[in-house]
Structure 1
């Protein structure tokens, strides 16, 4: 198994305050998968335990992702051993597909064993022939089997000077045994073990939401060498190699089609539901599926550099970042636990000292307080929802780089769009053909004959339109390009031209009835190609950057999702901006803008109280993307720059997934609020019910583990969110 390691070189001149003499001069930064963490405070316990090791320089454990990043100067085996001492299991993370590790069934065995002994004890208590001592032994064994792991974790938590649920639960069970409540203690242990097992299974499913993307690419590729095909591990395929992908197979690496044509399902990368036609020269992505014809692909990126690999890496980084709400909750939880712990001790001691009740009665109430002193459900209320949402988004073609951006997206009230390439296709097309005296086919034949040797984008648009409609070019001679005006040539013995008004003036051709029409088309933002001869105008072609259908639909859905303002920022003139706005449903636009003017427009929106997102290509709109509360780039699958610069990346090169992203973000904020209020109300109810003697230890543990499980299941609804 390959281990991903990066070398960190320390200061070349070590000093006593930096590191001891026997410490190595280099340390490894590694990522480990951690198993066995039952609650958010477990991560803190493990962090503190490892920080006490002199070989460890820096460590960060993330409960929601189940991962640990650690910089150390020892071997991986030693780190794994240290983790096991704290009661958890660790394995070095690998980006490559490996055989699945054998699942640890110790939690299941503990639940079954402890539950069986508890059941036998309860049954025996109702049978007169079973001695009380034997029943006590059964309960004691149930506590020992179900409580071994929590007690071990509690030991290391105490050593690390942290109060987690394992410490509190262990103290409560020991206290219950001291006052003779063995049945209560055994029930608490079994419920705690059962709850943790169910929580772990649910959380692991959430964590796997992004790891499943690793399974999209095959482990081997068919490499073409001469006329032969050789099977190679994907990691060994080099840039420039030619791989062969059969119909129905997954594409193993990013590349360009060198032979063949097919339709490719890119949904795992871009989220596009409709397969995309691919032919020679087109880009294909690892993880997409070749649906029809056989393709030969020239590899352009190694396995670790593919778009899919970058998605997985960036999303796992995003899942590890704390959202603002999570940071607030963590701060509250750090204060809440010690306060309730001290309160529990005071409840045990103070009332009996003042003669307000029996020691056993108040000691039991104190034990109940201990059980509800750990806010597990509250601590995981935010991170599990964030991880679920980010994982879902990644599988749908939306890359969200952290919980902070997910929260901002859920509060957006205005979205600003770049025009060219975002709302529009970004290339000119023929949108109107005006030929009152000759047929459209005749006009386009003349136009394409004139424009076929020009490299101007408008000329290319005319030729492409003629080819799409299968209009034939004509015989011509004497082609001449007149810079800044157009082109001219002799066709069938007659001199024709195609160009702008300056060329018409050069030929001194009368416009006649076309003058008003040309002015109107230009006012609407069209570029005009006038085709004529010295004697007359033959026809007019109106050229424009066409609006994307996906943009119109997305803007309508954004309005339905609650986004109040959709603004267009463009460097084009007023007529073009007005025309595009009318076609797309844009509520406001700013025209004739330089890049710095776009920043001013963003700031103006923010000054009016809007949370503003800027949608662009991630390159030309960099200043506006940075100035906005949220920068959203399109076409991330084909652009490394977009992936790196924006806060949120739409992997496809259109806006289809933008409304989904906004709806997902708002749904996530709603679920986080539900989780937080539910967690607080459950704890408040438990606290209130202690003093009327309604609460019992086993009800207290159900309220804690049950609430955590409900919060997890509620958050997991985001994995199935479709928008």
Structure 2
């Protein structure tokens, strides 16, 4: 599929109709034209001349030399040459030219109003007609074509209203209809363009080229040509081209494009780096681990763009509603035209005027714009914060959740053991023996102990002999004496005094994992080790409760005591322990019967539960399977931005409901004015335009982010 940027799309409904026309072309059945992204995806076999002619019929055109972010196809003009479609030119002016035409039309309209009654009537009418043509010609031509094909949409309504107003000699109103509808369409386009530009700014973080080092020589290549194991040079201020590890150098890196975190992260040799992040100072040599198209940044850009293509239930409802709404408005206007004169002796001219006003107020512009700008703005705003929402439907769902289930390890906790408590019975030997024995071990518990002892500045020589006993611990000889470091079972040779047995039971009661240190006859001390709870977990749970998430549930495979301890520390409303992956799935399904459930996790064993929840949320530095399964991805290695994401989703949902209520409510009030004959074309035009501008501006407020 080739991808092109399209300019001049005036509304979502128009884009849908153009897509249907392109799909009727030879090889065009797979064509996709998105109003939200202003992009057209086509089979390479489709005739570009035919496509341009379809777009031209609605005032749209393909922007020159445009291609997608993944560089999956060549420039548009190169593609055209392959098919012999050369020498085309833009047939429609961009927004700046449309603005100029509207300004000229407005000046002429003002002049006509000023000279009305002062010069010959035909001259005044000529001025109105010129103003009308400059501002409404395109709408009028579309409307005529629609009428000939019995297709009823916004342009059809406006064309009927124009013809009717001219027919009854209402030149001022007819010109104002054309002028303000032209302005209305321009403002609609500008509103959507603002949302698109905000998204495009986000997408521009992708680096374009990389400096590859080979045999001591530097060469600049497109990032699409990078391969795994390539070494690239990244100087101060440059973007890292793809995911990899630091092979040489030390620097701080700005990862905001990936994680949404503004604070720089220190990087040294063997530390992982993301493509799209910026090297702040110094020079780094990066060993590329993934081709660009498989990098985190490429996945983010792909997910964000795909997210704009999906339709929410609300948008689908509006599309279906608008399909029947326009014919219904035409029916109402006919009733307004015929019933008062035929049954109540009303004047035909008066009720024709009222019927025209009904047509104008019936325009569904504001209704159609109620959702898409808000959705794109919400997805963009979350993406800026390092939160990837894979579609508008998931953003809408995020605003409705009332239950949030958490995996414990790596989500509420760091997924790394740390020493939480220590009991020492022989201070002279306990720390040194523990350090000497554990420093050569790669076991996670040993690493936690060494990290703790390093903080205490403990140092010890290597043991004379060392033996690892699987499932028990380590046995070592130091200065001729035997020592043991391990669990309770490794200490069966020792008779435990009551105070030590009591201390062991106390550690167990607190859900701690035990590592004991002993010689041949007695316990020298013990470490109580736990998975460290994330600093932000408690505050995040509180913030979620404050944002209307009624139930926070922890699901874990750990035993009951550990689960109980973590649950109390972080403040979840419920917890379930000793769960297998299939048990987590069953719990999620059970909770889903009582409300909208989101599940958040980071491990491979969380993927089934993420998939079975109404909404799956993955930690970005978790496994690929969890990220691919999830509907929302947190690119940070913490939960800190989750409450804000829910707030944004709730705000988007509130704005959409408000926009729909406001646009329909305003039309209802105006239609009620038609019953006593109080509705004028001026009121109809201004209220329709005002509603459209208002819902657009309200939707764009989602993009406003407090610093």
TM-score normalised per structure 2: 0.92
Q: 2:249 aligns with which of 216, 236, 260?
A: 260
Change over 3 Å in CA distance of 1:112–1:345 after alignment to 2: same
Name the CA distance, whole Å, in 2 between partners of 1:348 and 1:103.
39
Aligned length: 687
**Aligned with 2:524: secondary structure?**
strand
Name the CA distance, whole Å, in 2 between partners of 1:190 and 1:655.
50
Match for residue 112 of structure 1?
A: 103
Q: 1:676 aligns with which of 643, 646, 660?
A: 660
Name the CA distance, whole Å, in 2 between partners of 1:667 and 1:231.
45
Q: 1:617 aligns with which of 602, 606, 623?
A: 602
Deviates more, 1:69-78 or 1:649-658: 69-78
Match for residue 647 of structure 1?
A: 631
Q: 1:46 aligns with which of 11, 15, 18?
A: 18
Q: Structure 1 residue 225: deviation in Å?
A: 2.6
Match for residue 519 of structure 1?
A: 505
Match for residue 455 of structure 1?
A: 442
Name the CA distance, whole Å, in 1 between partners of 2:44 and 2:242.
33
Native 8 Å contact 1:262 1:277 kept in 2: yes
Q: 1:656 aligns with which of 634, 640, 663?
A: 640
Name the CA distance, whole Å, in 2 between partners of 1:34 and 1:162.
24
Query: Which residues in structure 2 correspond to 1:208-607 (within 5 Å)?
Result: 208-354=197-343, 356-438=345-427, 443-506=430-493, 508-607=494-593
Name the CA distance, whole Å, in 2 between partners of 1:133 and 1:469.
97
Native 8 Å contact 1:413 1:562 kept in 2: yes
Query: Are positions 1:125 and 2:120 aligned together?
Result: no
Q: Structure 1 residue 592: deviation in Å?
A: 1.0
Q: Structure 1 residue 146: deviation in Å?
A: 0.7
**Aligned with 1:163: secondary structure?**
coil
Q: Structure 1 residue 502: deviation in Å?
A: 1.5
Name the CA distance, whole Å, in 2 between partners of 1:597 and 1:237.
43
| CA offsets 1:321-356 (integer angstroms, 9 cap, x no match) | 111122222222222110111222333344334572
Name the CA distance, whole Å, in 2 between partners of 1:628 and 1:515.
44
Query: Are positions 1:689 and 2:673 aligned together?
Result: yes
Q: Structure 1 residue 96: deviation in Å?
A: 6.4
| CA offsets 1:40-97 (integer angstroms, 9 cap, x no match) | 3212332343344344224443333333444474233432232112321234542169
Native 8 Å contact 2:4 2:67 kept in 1: yes
**Aligned with 2:405: secondary structure?**
strand
**Aligned with 1:426: secondary structure?**
strand
Query: Are positions 1:95 and 2:79 aligned together?
Result: no
| CA offsets 1:212-263 (integer angstroms, 9 cap, x no match) | 2232133222222333332223233333221111223222222221111222
Name the CA distance, whole Å, in 1 between partners of 2:367 and 2:147.
22
**Aligned with 1:250: secondary structure?**
coil
Native 8 Å contact 1:86 1:152 kept in 2: no
Native 8 Å contact 2:8 2:94 kept in 1: no
**Aligned with 1:599: secondary structure?**
helix
Name the CA distance, whole Å, in 1 between partners of 2:231 and 2:325.
60
Deviates more, 1:610-619 or 1:703-712: 610-619
Match for residue 718 of structure 1?
A: 702
Native 8 Å contact 1:618 1:632 kept in 2: no
| CA offsets 1:554-576 (integer angstroms, 9 cap, x no match) | 11211111211111111111111
Native 8 Å contact 1:221 1:252 kept in 2: yes
Query: Are positions 1:81 and 2:41 aligned together?
Result: no
TM-score normalised per structure 1: 0.90
Name the CA distance, whole Å, in 2 between partners of 1:418 and 1:639.
14
Deviates more, 1:480-489 or 1:667-676: 480-489
**Aligned with 1:481: secondary structure?**
strand
Change over 3 Å in CA distance of 1:138–1:373 after alignment to 2: same
Native 8 Å contact 1:43 1:62 kept in 2: yes
Change over 3 Å in CA distance of 1:296–1:635 after alignment to 2: same
Native 8 Å contact 1:57 1:72 kept in 2: no
**Aligned with 2:194: secondary structure?**
helix
Native 8 Å contact 1:210 1:395 kept in 2: no
Q: Structure 1 residue 136: deviation in Å?
A: 0.9
Structure 2 residue ranges without an equivalent (≥5): 77-89
Deviates more, 1:235-244 or 1:48-57: 48-57
Name the CA distance, whole Å, in 2 between partners of 1:503 and 1:380.
70
Change over 3 Å in CA distance of 1:464–1:105 after alignment to 2: same
Native 8 Å contact 1:384 1:712 kept in 2: yes
Match for residue 16 of structure 1?
A: none
Match for residue 701 of structure 1?
A: 685
Q: Structure 1 residue 469: deviation in Å?
A: 4.2
Name the CA distance, whole Å, in 1 between partners of 2:361 and 2:690.
12
Match for residue 187 of structure 1?
A: 176
Query: Which residues in structure 2 correspond to 1:629-644 (within 5 Å)?
Result: 629-635=614-620, 639-644=623-628
Change over 3 Å in CA distance of 1:218–1:485 after alignment to 2: closer
Native 8 Å contact 1:509 1:534 kept in 2: no
Q: Structure 1 residue 707: deviation in Å?
A: 0.7
